[in-house]
Structure 1
Amino acid sequence: MAARELPGHIAAALAGAGGPVDSAGRPWSGRDLAGDGNPLHNFDADDGLADAGYTEALKNLIAGSGTEADVVASLATARVFVPIVAVLGEEAESEHGLTADKQADMALVSLTAPDGRKALPVFTSVAALEHWHPEARPVAVYTARAALSAVAEDAQLLVIDPGAEFTFVVRRPAMWALAQQRKWVPSYADAELVSMAETAAAPDRRILAVTLQQGQGTASRTAAGAPVTGGGAGPELRMVLQLAPGLDPQDVSALAAGLQQRLTANPEFVERVDSLDLKITR
């Protein structure tokens, strides 16, 4: 039987593969990426599985015996995987007359939340990442480093394991706390925010009382539909205002706008609160 000639695109791929050097011209010979002596990798013995502390904290949250703060605290010491994908930078024509990649860049994958905010997806295991995006490359980092990357990319959220049985959203204040390697206190559990809210409400005597509660937006669901009391994208904080009687809608609207202006003028309040909704009572 006469020998069959390989198709041009396969011949071109084979011609450029298996050589003695990498795509940058550096020899493969003598290179070793394993062992303690390699400063480029902190996870040589990593099995690619989810961190046990995070898994336990998430199980407790779903069961109702844990809190969002517990989950974020477990992430503070956990290894996660950031998905990286190749983005074509420049094309060139090969000697076989075929178009080939001359230059490709590696880029972080980002998401857009339903409210338009930018989010960085991270994964607790290689399997979770591959299930979500088979072509993405998993880069192992500690969560603090992932949070720093999110801040650098102007992301407002970290989304843990999108597409999994349960996806946990780390909102901006918690993400910043992880990046700074400090403890996170949820806004709805922060006693200092109550004092800030009362101070902002004090100039308007039509506000008789102000209280802070956990926002309904912190709730989420598993893929199977089971409700979970945390892990949602927000709003994370509910502000309840008790108002004097006799106010018309225009008065209430102006009152709320003035209160919001005073709150946003407080940088500490803005840093600690991701988002809030307002409830009016009489």
Structure 2
Amino acid sequence: MAAQLASAGGAEDTGGQAWAGRNLGEGTSHTHLFPDDDGAAVPAVVRALAALRAGTGDEAAVVAALAGTRVFVPVLAQVSSSTVTDAGFVADKEADMALVSLRAADGRAVLPVFTSTDALGAWHGSARPVATDVRRAALAAVKDGTQQLVLDPGSALPFVVRRPALWALAQGRGWTPAYRSPAVQEAVRRCAADLPGVVSAATAPGSGVAVRDADGTEVPGGGAGPELAVVLALRPGLDRARLDDVVARFQARLSTERSLAEDVDSMQLRLTTAGGAGAAGGAATGRDRLSRPGR
């Protein structure tokens, strides 16, 4: 430690290389992509998150506000090789830089991104913030097989960007939640058509759309999923065998729909009777069947 302190402010780095003549500024590989960036959160994103928390906004507005903005991805550096110089200085010869990846409750890889350096620092004091535009972060996530982004993990209101929204950001296009998509609604109705015992099929927000903030208040967006509920209304009187057959045939049809594969991250199937609460044959209300049509 004494040797390291003695080297501070010297004419050479710890490897013995002179500082004089080096260009670490404009035009080098070290040039910052956002040279005037103060590390603060983008105001439009802050406003969209505040509106979501207040109940006046939705998750589609948050994703729209994120499009084209700068975010920070956390990178951790770990020295893989070092040496001690003749002067007693510890010199790093090699260091590995790695993006941080998380795991969701269902096992899928999640890329954490942050609106500000303060948010990243509060989450992990040793992580280094690397500024990038959100589209590049989304493209990198898609390339690595990561299916979700989580915005500001560890904050009062983390926000999950699920796979369809992640793909939309990567492609630079707008995103409509599956529960509001006319194409998804039509696909669900088409899959239910002519099935024996099925009266109707509809879509609604799933139980995973909402999330709770640090105070326990429910916020209508930013949850990890499932984001789509498919409500299948059945004719009363179906026994268990017929109920299972109808559900299996319906799910088989759903798996072939391209719009569902592209626009739905995960869904839950809710069975009801046409004029009552629970489906016949012992399928109790609330026992949703969960599936993930995404590819």
TM-score of the two chains, using structure 1 as the length reference: 0.86
Query: Match of 2:144?
Result: 153
User: Where does structure 2 lack aligned partners over 5 or more consecutive residues?
Assistant: 274-295
1:31 is aligned with what amino acid?
N
SS of structure 1 residue aligned to 2:208: helix
Aligned residues: 271
Greater shift in the superposed pair: 270-279 or 199-208: 199-208
Looking at structure 1, the residues matched to 250 and 181 of structure 2 have their Cα atoms a distance apart, in angstroms, of 19
> CA separation in 1, counterparts of 2:181 and 2:4?
62
User: Are 2:203 and 2:228, in contact at CA under 8 Å, matched by a contact in 1?
Assistant: yes
Q: Among 232, 236, 241, which residue is 2:232 paired with?
A: 241
- C-alpha deviation, 1:114, in angstroms: 1.3
On the 8 A contact 1:91/1:99 being kept in 2, the answer is no
The yes-or-no answer on 1:269 pairing with 2:252 is no
Per the alignment, in what secondary structure is the counterpart of residue 268 of structure 2?
Answer: strand
Instruction: Identify if the C-alpha distance between structure 1 residues 280 and 101 changes in structure 2 by more than 3 Å, giving closer, same or farther.
Output: same
Please say if residues 7 and 14 of structure 2, whose CA atoms lie closer than 8 Å, have aligned partners that are also in contact: no
2:63 equivalent to 1:67: no
- What corresponds to 1:221 in structure 2? 212
Q: Any gaps of 5 or more consecutive residues in structure 1? A: 1-8
1:91 is aligned to 81
**Deviation per residue, 1:22-72 (Å, 9 max, x gap):** 9797966341425xx668433101011000000011111111111111100
Partner of 1:11: 3
* Corresponding position of 2:293: none
Which residue is 2:25 aligned to?
Answer: 33
- Secondary structure at the aligned position of 1:173 is classed as helix
1:206 is displaced (CA, Å) by: 2.1
**Secondary structure, counterpart of 1:216 in structure 2:** coil
**For residues 23 and 50 of structure 1, do their structure 2 counterparts lie closer, same or farther at Cα, with a shift above 3 Å needed?**
farther
- Mark the CA change 1:130 to 1:243 in structure 2 (over 3 Å): closer, same or farther: same
RMSD (Å), alpha carbons: 2.7
CA 1:259 to 1:140, structure 2 compared with 1: closer, same or farther past 3 Å?
same
Do the aligned residues in 2 keep the contact of 1:188 with 1:214 (CA within 8 Å)?
yes
Distance 1:23 1:190, change over 3 A: farther
The residue type equivalent to 1:129 in the other structure is: L
Which residue, 246, 262, 273 being the options, matches 1:255?
246
The letter for the 1-side match of 2:251 is: Q
Aligned AA for 2:72? F
Amino acid at match of 2:21: S
Mapped to 2, the partners of 1:181 and 1:163 lie a distance apart of: 27
- TM-score if structure 2 supplies the norm length? 0.83
Establish whether residue 166 from structure 1 lines up as the match of residue 157 from structure 2: yes
User: 1:274 & 1:171 partners in 2: Cα distance?
Assistant: 7
Mapped to 2, the partners of 1:250 and 1:116 lie a distance apart of 32
User: Which range moves more in the overlay, 146-155 or 134-143?
Assistant: 146-155
What letter matches 1:11 in structure 2? A
CA gap of 1:246–1:23, structure 2 versus 1, over 3 A, is: farther
1:50 corresponds in structure 2 to: 41
- Name the residue aligned to 2:105: 114
Matches within 5 A, 1:133-144: 133-144=124-135
Aligned to 1:103, the other structure's residue is in SS state strand
